[in-house]
Structure 1
Amino acid sequence: MYEVDLATTAQPFYNLMMFPYPSAEGLHVGNVYAFTGADIYGRFMAMQGRAVFEPMGFDAFGIHSENFAIKQGVHPSKLTARNVKRFRETQLQRIGNRFCWKHEIQTTDPSYYKWTQWIFLQLFKAGLAVRKKAAVNWCPDCKTVLADEQVVGCSCERCSAIVIQRELEQRFFKITQYAQRLLDNLDQLDWSEKVKTAQRNWIGRSETDGTVQYHLRDWSISRQRYWGPPIPIIYCHSCGTVPVPEDRLPVQLPETENWLPQGTGNSPLAEIPEFVNTTCPCCGGAARRETDVSDNFLDSAWYFLRYPSSERSVFPFDPAITAKWLPVDMYIGGAEHSVLHLLYSRFITMVLQDLGHIPFEEPFRRFRAHGLLTKQGAKMSKSKGNVVNPDRYIEEYGADTLRTYLMFLGPYNQGGDFSDRGIAGIRRFLDRVYQWAIKHQNCLQPNPPDLASQRRLHQTIHKISSDIQSLKYNTAIAALMSYFNMLQSNSSIAEVELKSYLLMLAPFAPHVTEEIWQQLGESGSIHQQTFPQFDPQFLIQEQITLAVQINGRTRTTITLSPDASQEEAIAIARQTKAIQRHLNNQEVHRAVYVPGRILNFVT
């Protein structure tokens, strides 16, 4: 149902979430939190009539995956295949997201990294991928170079080892040439402000004695490891540095049992003669291959371009499809990637536009950073032993309960603290909805409800619509609970009330609402219906009459909104001639306000 004909469908909406590393531990509830919030937004947009494309894939190259393979003593290719299968089939397919699996990508697939290498070649030919000897960040535990952005304080972001400086020949992308453009464009981006602030600070423009300087340094992309795409460069004694011809891509990562990092400044690929030794594509003479692999942040710097064209083999991104679906309409992910993935993606996109490959310079129209889930106030991490696996909660309570509970923990952009307390209450809430709907399925009133009920319905629709668009999922769920309590107390239910309620709940709890929809005998899926629309005439608050007293004696009445504040009521009362006359020169000691009933001035 969630497959999209990317070539012909109208009203496209590209709904993207950051694809995961397929580690052996599997998804934790923090991942489910991020993915659920993005999916709710996508489901809402689909119910607004948009053709939503919500792909998923696996960012499986790099130090993180390789380090775990080293600990397990398993070749990273075997471990990655096992982990991807677990992620996809026992976790991602069960959390209720509208993933379009037809366009799944894996960065370790030669059909993918062929184009990662192609992108490297475009930068190389444009003079933006240079090799130079420089003092670089060296992690003694990971035994490889790190980019500045991968060093936190003085430590490796992956293993926390103290990073040292080492002189090495490295490949760098000249991101500094784009520093001012990357900075200037931030003013126009519809992104979370904290992410834009982090990028401004990292780019770090400053002026001394009239000279402009930047904190930003060129991006070091060489890695002296095994698990990554080989850099497509050949060194020839006669011809010098030669790019691998595009028609000879991909340069495949060779299978080897000697894949452990060396710590010598060379990749394990340097010890594989049949890989290293080759012929020069220019003169046909003996030559050798580059043996470093590229940083896995290059893999993820363009993956959003590949998703819509994942089935195309003759080019990385189909021009017509790319022009139709990109830039990404909504991207949701973690703010911790502000100066890594998000900055690198912007740089690669700008370069590809400058070289004429794509018609836009910014990759994501909107980016929203979700909050962080904690456990007992601490960030979840394997070292602390507080990572929560979602699998048992899905088994015990169901995916709908877990989704709704996670979104109810706190504001989506702030996160919350995960505990077992409360999740059973969400399950009971969904059970009550199911039982209530089934109980009334054969006795629904065909006519609209009374005026007060219609007003409450349309106010709720307006509230839920507004909250979902603002990613205020916790308050949307609270409003759904409040409205449900009112519906439960009614002796009869109108058909429009029940169906509207299910449609509003559907993005949060897709399975149970689909089940009820089918029980009601409706045709088609609930997720292919239109989200309820509010009628503005029912949003106008009816006015009430309030008695205004002075020392307990009623002196006049005023009309105002039933939810008017005490300050509003006092201001309106003081404007009446009766109160002005009776309060003549008296000092008001205090005011007693009972909303909907009285306002009493005590003099």
Structure 2
Amino acid sequence: MWQQNQVYDVDVATAQNPFYNLMMFPYPSAEGLHVGNVYAFTGADIYGRFMSMQGHSVFEPMGFDAFGIHSENFAIKQGIHPNQLTIRNVERFRETQLKRIGNRFCWSYEVQTTDPAYYKWTQWIFLQLFKAGLAIRKTAPVNWCPSCKTVLADEQVIQGECERCNTVVIQRELQQWFFKITDYAQRLLENLDRLDWSERVKVAQRNWIGRSETEDGVHYHLRDWLISRQRYWGPPIPIVYCNACGIVPVPDDQLPVLLPATDNWLPQGTGNSPLADISEFVHTTCPQCGNSARRETDVFDNFLDSAWYFLRYPSSNRHDVPFDSQITAKWLPVAMYIGGAEHSVLHLLYSRFITMVLHDLGYISFEEPFQRFYAHGLLTKDGIKMSKSKGNVVNPDRYIEDYGADTLRTYLMFLGPFDQGGVFSDRGIVGVRRFLQRVWQLVITHKNSLSRSPNEVSQRQLHPIIDRVSQAIAALKYNTAIAALMEYLNVLQNQPLLSEVEVKAYLLMLAPFAPHITEELWHQLGETESIHRQRFPQADSTFLTTEQVTIAVQINGRTRTTITLAPDASEAEAIEIANQTKSIQRFLKNQEIRRVVYVPNRILNLIT
């Protein structure tokens, strides 16, 4: 229904009050999405849904970061061409996983880094840096991974090992392409002070840039960004070498330089990419003098693909420019970006650099790509961090099959603070499943007997919950919001009569977490438009008491339950709230109250 009615589609040109809600696009590996991805995507989606319910036009695109060593290594292992493998993996990610997790993805703006319509503009960006003197070719000692048979950027070497395969990295002297990110070291450092980003990410970037002062002036740990790779699976670098003209950039009107199809794509380890053996690719003519020339045969590292994808999403239907200037000015920089802190000195640093350069060259009006970056926590299982290398990742497919996407989403957000993560266990998910079943039961049971509006006592219970939940979601304290909704469900279940206002407000508050069940129940209540196009309930300050007291409720002097009241609650209000609890209803069955003893803030004794 959401797809048919285009509930989540946004016309980027005409939408009012824009809010760009971005999540890190996945690497479509053969293993598929794991539950850690779902954790990150769900947390980002809840924030987007909340902002939509605050009146924003929320743009939440999705795409695939599909070039690079990881896909190619798996293709080598399987004996399948990386192009075939990528097509298959993207299809699986999109159709059997991403479309089932309940996110408000706007699929009409999908990007894939392996699409020539995308990497044409990755090549164009390289050429702009080349013309500005920021892309240079030099002989330098570089990090070489003997297993992956390619060079690595400094940022891809972790404690002397390849971040992909953990092989010990060696040094080789090779001619390579670099971006002069060092020219931007001081600016990258200074700008961190004014970014609304998770502090641990800012600390990681400060440490990596590593400014130090000695007698010999200012030094930085940061080195130039090595972007060329001696592999097959990546966008070709758009440069030709001419004996007469030297290094010549491929003209814009000859882009994209297509990655040639070949069966001989395995890495060679010689310092050359497999493209060097494809003579019809290598041999070309010089764009300047027309004499014979040869093409560059290295390809880009896939961190360049992902360093600008957020600029492409809103303009992905434009084929004449990389990004439409008006649409870019309207939607960017990104309002909220959620992802893993492990990308602090790779993707996030590179994206900042590319954005600064495009700003300086006059293509965009801002120099920082993400107004806000929020680093989510990590999941653990069996006492250790969940990761593919540890072999303890959880496939979400079975949980969606057995419990439904809403249960998985709500459970993941209830595990612990979103910026800290939590421990995944089968036992915990069952409790969340029961909670959603109780919500279903409550609405189905009462849907034909709802009163029009709540009484004052009900209002005093409802509005503090609206206030708590909305504040918690705004602060990304999702576990706190869910706890408040669970607590309030008990209050609603204890009431013999419910109002339409209470039930609808409850569904609206739960909707960002459990979008399917709330949509269905919304329609069960007779509504025709999607719940996800409604406004979030607003707390009425009239009913927000700053403090509440808990008093004992007795029958004939024996305490039967406790209730929560405002400190100035009248005797009539205390009796009304007590009468709404199931335990008091049970004890008072067929009995008449003869006398009431009410001591404010202390006790309510009903004498029968």
What is the DSSP-based 3-state SS (H/G/I as helix, E as strand, rest coil) of the residue aligned with 1:422?
helix
Are 1:534 and 2:539 an aligned pair?
Answer: yes
The runs of 5 or more residues in structure 1 that have no matched partner are: 547-559, 564-594, 599-603
Please state whether the residue corresponding to 1:106 is helix, strand or coil. Answer: coil
Equivalent of 2:276, from 270, 276, 279? 270
**Matched residue, 1:8:** 14
The residue correspondences of 1:405-444 to structure 2 (distance < 5 A) are 405-444=411-450
Does structure 1 residue 186 correspond to structure 2 residue 192?
Answer: yes
Q: Where does residue 454 of structure 2 map in the other structure?
A: 448
- Per-residue CA deviations over 1:533-574 (Å, capped at 9, x if unaligned) read 00122223367799xxxxxxxxxxxxx9869xxxxxxxxxxx
1:49-72 Cα deviation digits (max 9, x unpaired): 100000000000001111111111
Offset of residue 209 of structure 1: 1.1
User: What's the offset of the Cα at 1:74?
Assistant: 0.4
Q: Which residue of 2 aligns with 1:21?
A: 27
Corresponding residue for residue 253 of structure 2: 247
Compared CA separation, residues 40 and 543, structure 1 to 2 (3 A): closer
Q: How big is each residue's C-alpha offset from its partner over 1:384-411, in whole Å with a ceiling of 9 and x where there is no partner?
A: 3211100000001000000000101111
Which stretch has the larger CA shift, 318-327 or 439-448? 439-448
1:214 corresponds to which letter in structure 2?
A: Y
Could you tell me the TM-score, scaled by structure 1's length?
Answer: 0.90
Partners of 2:434 and 2:529 lie apart in 1 by: 27
Three-state SS of the structure 2 residue aligned to 1:521 is coil
2-structure distance, mates of 1:242, 1:114: 17
Task: For 1:543 and 1:94, locate their aligned partners in 2 and report how far apart those are by CA, in whole Å.
Answer: 42
2:183 to 170, 177, 182: 177
Q: How does 1:550-565 map to 2 (within 5 A)?
A: none
- State the Cα deviation string for residues 25-66 of structure 1 (Å, max 9, x = none): 000000000000000000000000100000000000001111
Structure 2 distance, partners of 1:496, 1:561, is 21
SS at match of 2:427: coil
Structure 1 Cα separation of the partners of residues 190 and 388 of structure 2: 39
Q: In the alignment, what sits opposite 1:134?
A: 140
Return the alpha-carbon distance in structure 2 between the equivalents of residues 510 and 460 of structure 1: 19
Residue 361 of structure 1 pairs with residue 367 of structure 2: yes
Are 1:118 and 2:124 an aligned pair?
yes
Q: Look up the match of 1:566.
A: none
Q: Distance in 1 between matches of 2:229 and 2:16?
A: 43
Partner residue, 1:462: 467
Pairing 1:203–2:198 present:
no
Distance 1:131 1:464 in 2: 55
Q: CA-to-partner distance for each residue in 1:484-525, whole Å, 9 max, x for gaps?
A: 011100111011100000000000000000000111111200
SS, match of residue 401 in structure 1: helix
Match of 2:317, SS?
coil
Partner of 1:499: 504
The answer as to whether partners of 2:454 and 2:498 remain within 8 angstroms in 1 is: no
Residue in 1 that maps onto 2:378:
372
Identify which of 337, 340, 345 aligns with 1:331: 337
Task: Tell me the equivalent position of 2:522.
Answer: 517
Specify the alignment match of 1:557 in structure 2.
none
Q: Cα deviation per residue 1:279-300 (whole Å; 9 max; x = unaligned)?
A: 0000000000000001100000
Distance 1:539 1:248, change over 3 A: same
Deviations 1:51-101 (A, max 9, x none): 000000000000111111111110000000000000000000000000000
Give the distance between the partners of 2:546 and 2:415, measured in 1 at CA: 31
> Could you tell me how far apart the structure 1 residues matched to 2:455 and 2:480 are?
25
Q: Which residue in 2 is equivalent to 1:65? A: 71
C-alpha displacement at 1:421, in angstroms?
Answer: 1.0
Instruction: Answer with 454-463 or 225-234: which moved more.
Output: 454-463
Distance 1:213 1:437, change over 3 A: same
Q: Identify which of 352, 369, 374 aligns with 2:358.
A: 352
Task: Give the TM-score normalised by the residue count of structure 2.
Answer: 0.89
Could you tell me how far 1:456 is from its partner in structure 2? 1.8
Structure 2, unaligned runs of 5 or more: 1-6, 552-564, 569-599, 604-608
Is the Cα contact below 8 Å between 2:238 and 2:257 reproduced in 1? yes
User: How many aligned positions are there?
Assistant: 553
- Aligned letter for 2:473? I
Residues 222 and 561 from structure 1, CA distance in 2 versus in 1: closer, same or farther, beyond 3 angstroms?
A: same
Instruction: Report the counterpart of residue 341 of structure 1 in structure 2.
Output: 347
Quick check: 2:307–2:350 contact (8 Å CA) kept in 1? yes
Question: What secondary structure, in the 3-state scheme, does the structure 2 residue paired with 1:331 have?
Answer: strand
- Structure 1: how far apart are the matches of 2:143 and 2:546? 63
What is the RMSD of the two structures over their aligned residues, measured on CA atoms? 1.6
**Cα distance change on mapping 1:542 and 1:147 into 2, 3 Å:** closer
Identity of aligned residues (%): 77
Contact map agreement 2:110 2:313 (CA 8 A) in 1? yes
- Supply the distance in 1 between the matched residues of 2:353 and 2:229 (Cα, whole angstroms): 20
Q: 1:145 aligns with which of 126, 151, 176?
A: 151
Match of 1:402 in 2: 408
CA contact (8 A) 2:208 2:221 kept: yes
Cα distance between partner residues in 2 of 1:381 and 1:491: 48
Q: In the aligned structure 1, how far is the partner of 2:460 from the partner of 2:282?
A: 74
Structure 2 match to 1:311:
317
- The yes-or-no answer on 1:508 pairing with 2:533 is no
Match of 2:479 in 1: 474
Q: Matches of 1:261 and 1:361 in 2, distance apart? A: 37
**Structure 1 residues 134-169: Cα deviation after superposition (integer angstroms, max 9, x where no partner):** 010100000000000001001000000001111000
Alignment of 1:48-63 (within 5 A): 48-63=54-69
Q: Which SS does the other structure have where 1:361 is aligned?
A: coil
1:77 aligned counterpart, secondary structure: helix
